[in-house]
Structure 1
Amino acid sequence: MIRVGLTGWGDHPSLYSGVTASKEKLFDYTGHFLTVEVDTSFYAIPSIENVRKWCENTPEHFSFVVKAYQGMTGHLRGDIPFDSKNDMFNAFIACTNEFKRHGKLAMILAQFPPWFDCQAKNVQYLLYIRQQLKDFEVAIEFRNQTWYADKVVQQTIDFLREHQFIHTICDEPQAGVGSVPFYPEATANKVLVRIHGRNIHGWRNTGNTENWRKVRFLYDYNQEELQQLGQDIKSLQAQVQELFVLFNNNSGQHAAKNAKQLQEILAIKDIGLAPKQLNMFEGEL
């Protein structure tokens, strides 16, 4: 099974029926896709009440990929806003258990920063993550090429497989050590493919701290690129039971369009989408 979706549901105007409330945007989103990445959980751990509302207001077969809180993956500069690391993980686990309780947790995504390179202390930290999140399926996304160096890449894959981590396969610009190659190897019965765009100049140029994210993920895939991605994903599908594809090229509002194009290429027809709201004036003169 292949599920295609987007990172976040609040920034895709082409999917909405003129509504602005977050709850209504999520409902409209579920009329188009059956999976989504909860990217807000990277910045702050959602309340259990909010998670419950999201789960109750989505279709039966909808699923969430929950991004790990930034303090868990080494992104947060300064002190964590918790008394201890255990408190931080426990808060995230309580939140994620609510998704699981509703049967709507696809996996946890632990995305590590570019400075998280392949060295012994970081391998040990991955084992710590595995222990803390032992009751969950966890996808690991690297942002440092050293994990995929010729001499160690097989060890990386073997390590992920041995410890039952889901390998996150990325399509992104090849812009030096702070980016990773598209490496289509599954390590569990699920695999996650994240599509970041190929804006190599934007990926490298992070000098404007206010707008760097908008620049980095500004990219519109052309039909030839999507066709190739489709072929790669079909080949990858043979390795797993479930394959999740998430488009993260949101800056120019290209993600939803590209995701729908890929669905057409893969002949995906999701069953169980929420009913799309009709424009009340549709058909009127």
Structure 2
Amino acid sequence: MLRGCWDNFELLLSTEEMGESRDEGRKLKVLMGTCGWSDHTLLKCGRFYPASVRSAEDRLRHYSTHFPCVEVDTSTYAIPSKVSVRRWLQAVPSGFIFHFKAFGLFCSKSCPITAIPGEIRTKLSFAGSDDYVKLSSLSTDIQDEIWSSFNSTLEPVFTAGSLGVVLFQFHLSFKPSLENRTHVLWCRRQLDPRFEMAVEFRNRDWFVGEQFQATCEWLKANNMALVAADELAHETFQKDREQTGLPYGQSREVLPVAWAVTKPSFHYIRVHRREGCKRMLSDSELQTWVARLQSKLPETLQGPVYFMWGTDWEDQPILNAQNLKQFLPESMIFNWKAAQLQNPAKGSLLSMFKSPQTAMQTASDSVLYKQPATPTDDVSPIALLEMNKNTDFGCSNANLGDAQKRILEQPAEMHGFTKKDAVFPPPKKAKPSPNKKKGNAGSPTITSFFKYAR
């Protein structure tokens, strides 16, 4: 019933005048990343980060050799310290992009008192039994101070040219109403006007019937982007804290994606899978995304398409990103590794080995297999059939998706550049140090840059 609400809507494009994009080479290119880089299951599985990588900065340094952007999700729970943000900036190469989720107080209209910045919290007077603070209970001055703290934290990221999008995610209870639209506009006014703002509405009423077009026109008129969210029905309509999996007797259903480009400077996509440990997308789901990206991105889009994976279970966000790359034409994917070779971080190992030959050698990420891309929406019925099959959320290897099985069955050489592929002379063999564990190379290294860590 919901699907018919989306079928007949064309792309909505803002007519506002845009200056030159940050990087013309990213126009209409897909930049993939993950929603966070330190999920505990990702760290525990040990298939992406080398064992020697332990600090948040070192993990980010390793992550940024594989992906051109990341979404900072911890900023939902507390405004990051400026010291942490400076360390993050120092850990990544030039051109890397940080997206930030907006502080939860702004979106949920409440938050734990302990989440309020310490210097501001000392100005509040609450009873000891109060664990949460409502936005409406704060004075205008205190609200302004919290916004100032958030904006000033993002300022150095913006100044460094590394700030992408500030994402405002509004929860299921946030329905379309005059009060809520007024609140969103208040957020846009309070957020630094130089920062890009994207809005994700988890309540589907924003997208039903004529309301969908009204939502898009309103966002377009107020300089905000609509997030295209890919999510499962049973996970969307269950509270995040009460996820109980697919109800007995029901089929797994992917909800229609509210697709509209309301800002020409970028488009933002988030793929959610919130429950269970089987979060790999099927080939048909990936092909459906390829069809959207190939047929529904206007040439007037002046910036990149940020494709962010929130399938947080072990290394499944990384594998999902890798799988989608196999279906997308290389011309649509932003070549992050080549960009790093052209403009490596000052003082990095890559800066010492930069050469045209090296750039050509790594002109594209290594691939596991090639599939012809499907350029139209003809795959959608097939994809829907597969999407609606029952899904077992068991955690054994036997329940891994087909795409993940193919990856795990591939020879190690297919997961990255091997020594014979490199343009550098092979290093002399040396006896291993008794103080270092075998195979635990630090990050970043030349070898870790060219090899996909599993």
2:175 & 2:185 partners in 1: Cα distance? 15
Letter aligned with residue 157 of structure 2: F
Q: Which residue of 2 aligns with 1:192?
A: 268
1:85 & 1:56 partners in 2: Cα distance? 30
- 2:149 match: secondary structure: helix
2:287 & 2:84 partners in 1: Cα distance? 37
1:85 & 1:216 partners in 2: Cα distance? 38
Contact 1:145 1:181 (C-alpha < 8 Å) held by counterparts: no
Q: Which 5+ residue runs of structure 2 have no aligned equivalent?
A: 1-28, 125-141, 239-254, 345-349, 351-443
Share of identical aligned residues, percent? 26
Q: State whether structure 2 residue 260 is matched by structure 1 residue 232.
A: no
Residue 78 to residue 23, structure 1, CA distance change in 2 (3 Å): closer
Match of residue 4, structure 1, among 17, 32, 54: 32
Match of residue 166, structure 1, among 197, 222, 225: 225
- 1:46 match: secondary structure: coil
Q: Which residue of 2 aligns with 1:207?
A: none
- 2:325 match: secondary structure: helix
1:9 to partner: Cα distance? 1.1
1:184 to partner: Cα distance? 1.7
Q: Which residue of 2 aligns with 1:74?
A: 108
Contact 1:2 1:244 (C-alpha < 8 Å) held by counterparts: yes
Letter aligned with residue 64 of structure 1: F
1:194 & 1:234 partners in 2: Cα distance? 17
1:68-108 Cα distance to aligned partner (Å, 9 max, x none): 01111016445562452211111110111121011100110
Q: Which 5+ residue runs of structure 1 have no aligned equivalent?
A: 198-212
Letter aligned with residue 253 of structure 1: D
Letter aligned with residue 96 of structure 1: L
Q: Which residue of 2 aligns with 1:249?
A: 311
Q: How does 1:27-46 map to 2 (within 5 A)?
A: 27-46=61-80
1:217 to partner: Cα distance? 7.7
The TM-score normalised by the length of structure 1 is 0.85
1:170 to partner: Cα distance? 0.3
Match of residue 183, structure 1, among 258, 261, 267: 258
2:314 & 2:285 partners in 1: Cα distance? 17
Contact 1:195 1:246 (C-alpha < 8 Å) held by counterparts: yes
Q: State whether structure 2 residue 88 is matched by structure 1 residue 54.
A: yes
Paired residues, number: 264
Q: State whether structure 2 residue 184 is matched by structure 1 residue 126.
A: yes
Once structures 1 and 2 are overlaid, which stretch shifts more, 133-142 or 226-235?
226-235
Q: Which residue of 1 aligns with 2:205?
A: 146
Contact 1:41 1:68 (C-alpha < 8 Å) held by counterparts: yes
Q: Which residue of 1 aligns with 2:339?
A: 272
Residue 87 to residue 184, structure 1, CA distance change in 2 (3 Å): same
Q: Which residue of 2 aligns with 1:112?
A: 170
1:255 & 1:50 partners in 2: Cα distance? 24
Contact 2:168 2:199 (C-alpha < 8 Å) held by counterparts: yes
2:72 & 2:317 partners in 1: Cα distance? 15
Q: Which residue of 2 aligns with 1:137?
A: 196
Of Structure 1 and Structure 2, the greater strand share is in: 1
Contact 2:104 2:111 (C-alpha < 8 Å) held by counterparts: no
Q: Which residue of 1 aligns with 2:50?
A: 17
Once structures 1 and 2 are overlaid, which stretch shifts more, 110-119 or 50-59?
50-59
Residue 131 to residue 55, structure 1, CA distance change in 2 (3 Å): same
Contact 1:60 1:272 (C-alpha < 8 Å) held by counterparts: no
2:256 & 2:178 partners in 1: Cα distance? 22
Residue 105 to residue 236, structure 1, CA distance change in 2 (3 Å): farther
- 2:86 match: secondary structure: helix
RMSD, matched Cα: 2.3
Contact 1:74 1:113 (C-alpha < 8 Å) held by counterparts: yes
Residue 139 to residue 217, structure 1, CA distance change in 2 (3 Å): farther
1:62 to partner: Cα distance? 0.5
Residue 38 to residue 67, structure 1, CA distance change in 2 (3 Å): same
1:187-216 Cα distance to aligned partner (Å, 9 max, x none): 00211000013xxxxxxxxxxxxxxx6x26
Q: Which has the larger radius of gyration?
A: 2
